[in-house]
Amino acid sequence: MHIRPATSTDVATIQHLAAVIWPTAYADILSPRQMQYMLHMMYGQEILQKQITEEGHQFLLAEDDGKAIGFAGVGPIEGSEWKLHKLYVLPFLQQKGAGKKLISAVESLAKAQGATTLILNVNRNNKAVGFYQHLGYQIYDQGDYPIGAGFYMHDYKMRKEL
């Protein structure tokens, strides 16, 4: 497996991966309507382009035999605090080390650019909570965050000192 920086030319690949991964990842957590709303809100072409070109988000693509299998998005928040915005791996490759390698690359990237803390939000019912805890992330807050159209994200906030 190889991890490389993604560019604006990889937006379609990121969109495709999200469209394939989300229905499995959130089948028991989000309604189909909320899932579609969030995919559009978070993965529209213009939104991803803006994140990459204007908002300082950095994306990484995980590839295996030249095929994209996962991605992550990370960026600075304030000072030396960075946020992991996105981390997804194709369902059939989960629990095989791809996610761990991807988050390790994210942590290295953030640390190399001066980050001392990495934070993230994760749905309280997502099995990824245990994955993050296993990697040293700790829950420091939780809440129900409105995202529009009457939908909420019921998340834990987690962090790790790098």
The model's pLDDT over 38-52, given as tens digits with 9 standing for 90+, comes to: 999 999 999 999 999
Q: How far is CA 128 from CA 15, 65, 86, 124, 160, in A?
A: 20, 25, 12, 9, 15
126 backbone φψ class: left, alpha, beta (φ>0; ψ -120 to 50): beta
Residue 98: which CATH number?
3.40.630.30
pLDDT at position 122 is 98
Q: Beta strand pairing status for 81-89 and 117-123?
A: parallel
Question: 81: helix, coil or strand?
Answer: strand
Binned at pLDDT 50, 70 and 90, residue 97 comes out as confident
Q: Which domain holds residue 50?
A: 2-161
Cβ proximity of 62 and 1 under 8 Å = yes
* In the predicted structure, residue 21 carries a pLDDT above the cut 80: yes
What does the alpha-carbon distance between residue 118 and residue 102 come to, in Å, rounded to a whole number? 14
* In the predicted structure, residue 95 carries a pLDDT above the cut 80: no
Cβ proximity of 37 and 51 under 8 Å = no
Q: Mean pLDDT over all residues of the chain?
A: 95
Q: Beta strand pairing status for 58-64 and 138-148?
A: unpaired
Q: What is the DSSP letter of 9?
A: G
Binned at pLDDT 50, 70 and 90, residue 128 comes out as very high
pLDDT at position 160 is 98
pLDDT at position 93 is 73
Question: Which tokens in the block code for residue 52?
Answer: 């990459």
* In the predicted structure, residue 11 carries a pLDDT above the cut 80: yes
pLDDT at position 2 is 95
What does the alpha-carbon distance between residue 58 and residue 120 come to, in Å, rounded to a whole number? 15
pLDDT at position 119 is 98
pLDDT at position 143 is 97
Share of the chain above pLDDT 90, in %: 93
How many domains does one find in the chain? Answer: 1
- The residue-averaged pLDDT of 108-132 equals 97
What does the alpha-carbon distance between residue 162 and residue 144 come to, in Å, rounded to a whole number? 27
In sequence order, the β-bridge partners of residue 157 are 121, 141
For the ranges 86-90, 93-97, 113-117, the lowest mean pLDDT is seen at 93-97
What does the alpha-carbon distance between residue 45 and residue 63 come to, in Å, rounded to a whole number? 21
What is the pTM for the complete model shown?
0.94
